[in-house]
Structure 1
Amino acid sequence: MNLRTNYRVASPGAFKAMMAMEQYISGQFENKVLYELLKIRVSQINGCAFCLDMHAKDLMKLGDYADHILLLSVWREVPFFTDQERVMLELAEAVTRISEHGVPLALYDKVREHFSESELVDLILAINTINNWNRIAITTGMYPGCFN
């Protein structure tokens, strides 16, 4: 595997802007497990090996979440995700695949049962940020360990 472009070197300003957004949005999440699950699920959907590797390792640093990582792609079929995690995952999938069905009002209402209006905005920004990271990583040919 070869890295196509090291975007960090090619455009340091873009990297700095992305990191600023990442730092802002990560600071909005008291529940770091929720945040990492969001990033892993979106990265699964987009097929981003670099981000999947990074965020699975980040989640494991928070505790024993091996089952969560292994079964995240089938979260609807396993009992150990909380209601809040489930609604967040459903929103993450809908926003990531927004061109397919949009974000239905029923889902929006479900999200609002578990998250305040400002938390909803933070979720949307987090979903969009990891989608952006995924698109950078995939387009530039990033893979686990490419910067080691």
Structure 2
Amino acid sequence: MQTRLPFFQANPAAMRALKSLDGQLAASTLEPALQELVRLRASQLNGCAYCMDVHTADARRAGIDDRRLALLPAWREAALFSPRERAALLWTEDLTLVADNHVPDASWQQVREQFQDAELVDLTLLITTINAWNRFAIAFRKLPAG
């Protein structure tokens, strides 16, 4: 597989706009480890190799151990994730796969119990942003370092 388009070079202004969303998320109250779990899970669902590579490394730097990383795709069956992380992962899956389920009320109830209003907006922005990054990386074939 070969890169189709170096999108950062093709339109730096558009990429700065997308990166500004990451700046908002860095200033949010969402824990860095939680953010990386969300980014990695959405990237797994989307099949974005580049983003999975980046966010696995970022997750390790945020203190997430290899066991939790390995079990992330099976988070429902693994007792290694907190109620807050489980709610965030459920919200991540529902928003990433929104066309499949239109975000069920049960998911809303679960995430609502774990996150305050501003955090819910930031969590939704986080999921939306990583999905946008995934789409750029997949569409233009941004590849992990060899």
Give the structure-2-normalised TM-score. Answer: 0.96
Deviation at 1:69, TM superposition (A): 1.1
RMSD: 1.2
5+ unaligned residues in a row in structure 2: which ranges?
none
Deviation at 1:26, TM superposition (A): 2.5
Given that residues 42 and 92 in structure 1 are in contact (C-alpha distance below 8 angstroms), is that contact kept between their aligned partners in structure 2?
A: yes
Cα distance in 2, alignment partners of residues 66 and 26 from structure 1:
23
Q: Letter of the aligned partner of 1:129 in structure 2?
A: T
Instruction: After superposition, give the CA deviation of every residue in 1:41-67 in whole Å (9 maximum; x if it has no partner).
Output: 000000000000001001111225111
Cα distance change on mapping 1:4 and 1:27 into 2, 3 Å? same
> How many residues matched?
146
Cα distance in 2, alignment partners of residues 64 and 85 from structure 1:
12
5+ unaligned residues in a row in structure 1: which ranges?
none
Deviation at 1:25, TM superposition (A): 1.6
Cα distance in 1, alignment partners of residues 41 and 57 from structure 2:
14
- Higher mean alpha-carbon deviation, 42-51 vs 98-107, is at 98-107
Cα distance in 1, alignment partners of residues 58 and 137 from structure 2:
17
Which residue does 2:50 correspond to in 1? 50
Q: Give every structure 1 segment of 4 or more consecutive aligned residues whose post-TM-superposition deviation is greater than 2 Å.
A: none
Q: Letter of the aligned partner of 2:73 in structure 1?
A: S
Which residue does 2:11 correspond to in 1? 11
Which residue does 1:115 correspond to in 2? 115
| 2:79 equivalent to 1:79 | yes
Cα distance in 2, alignment partners of residues 129 and 37 from structure 1:
14
Which residue does 2:103 correspond to in 1? 103
